[in-house]
Structure 1
């Protein structure tokens, strides 16, 4: 008998979800890499480092629990937008949650008039790279990145 993936909903970040946001990102980062100073800043105070500059965070909720997160960061200095802090708890991976979150973030970015979104990832994160490519992201020159774990830069024009 085929199993059905649990349904999930995309919700807006609110301060009461801060611990979930931090937990999800801490979980995936420490599984593959190590937390870096920029992670501590962003995860410790998303209001100041993500929301106040004009970005937003979306969360995925399934079975009453927060199981995924993703953010769109705005850099007012160069007017760039970056997809970041994408995370889906390991027990819920492979069910379309990451794709749904990314799609919702890109849809919101389009409504905001954002023309291009970039991201930095790592070549070992094959499922994530597959999702990004499926959503139209293409590899661009890496350039300077703020995370040691960053080995690939991608962009999508909206």
Structure 2
């Protein structure tokens, strides 16, 4: 059961004024479990160039006026693939269904854009995140080559 009301939670579009929130949320979860890698600094330092300009988008979860979650859909024009990335919910708000709501909103929007498959890379120690992904239909697929040292599981969902 969700532990928030619709009046308290909004899923909103990323805008430049939320850049610090986006970076903070991702720094928070990455440094809690792993360490920031060069690719993190690049992507989080300039989401416009690395996430938005290639055709992707970022959504944010705003709870009672505060930005508490983020998620992105990345497009790779070279091979046409789409990846769910930069999913984060601040520690004190985890376990309330916010990550699920955010991820569902990203997948719903991907469907409206005509995206047919979304992949993600995660880590087996992130059990709550993996649970959310499975609940939304993601299944494990072969890992292949990954950009981040922390990535040890790849999942995909056909939309």
Structure 1 residues 76-155: aligned runs within 5 Å: 76-155=77-156
Residue 5 of structure 1: how far off its partner (Å): 3.2
Q: What are the Cα deviations for residues 53-78 of structure 1, in whole angstroms up to 9, with x where unaligned? A: 00000000001100000000000000
The answer as to 2:64 corresponding to 1:63 is yes
Q: Give the SS at the match of 2:147.
A: coil
Normalising by structure 1, report the TM-score. 0.97
Q: Provide the aligned length of Structure 1 versus Structure 2.
A: 155
Alignment gaps of 5+ in structure 1: none
Q: Which residue of 2 aligns with 1:72?
A: 73
CA distance in 1, matches of 2:60, 2:98: 10
Q: Which residue of 1 aligns with 2:32?
A: 31
Normalising by structure 2, report the TM-score. 0.96
CA distance in 1, matches of 2:4, 2:20: 25
Residue 52 of structure 1: how far off its partner (Å): 0.1
The answer as to 2:34 corresponding to 1:41 is no
Q: Give the SS at the match of 1:84.
A: strand
Q: Note the aligned Cα RMSD (angstroms).
A: 0.7
CA distance in 2, matches of 1:5, 1:98: 12
CA distance in 2, matches of 1:76, 1:117: 14
Q: Give the SS at the match of 1:67.
A: strand
Alignment gaps of 5+ in structure 2: none
CA distance in 1, matches of 2:97, 2:43: 25
CA distance in 1, matches of 2:94, 2:58: 19
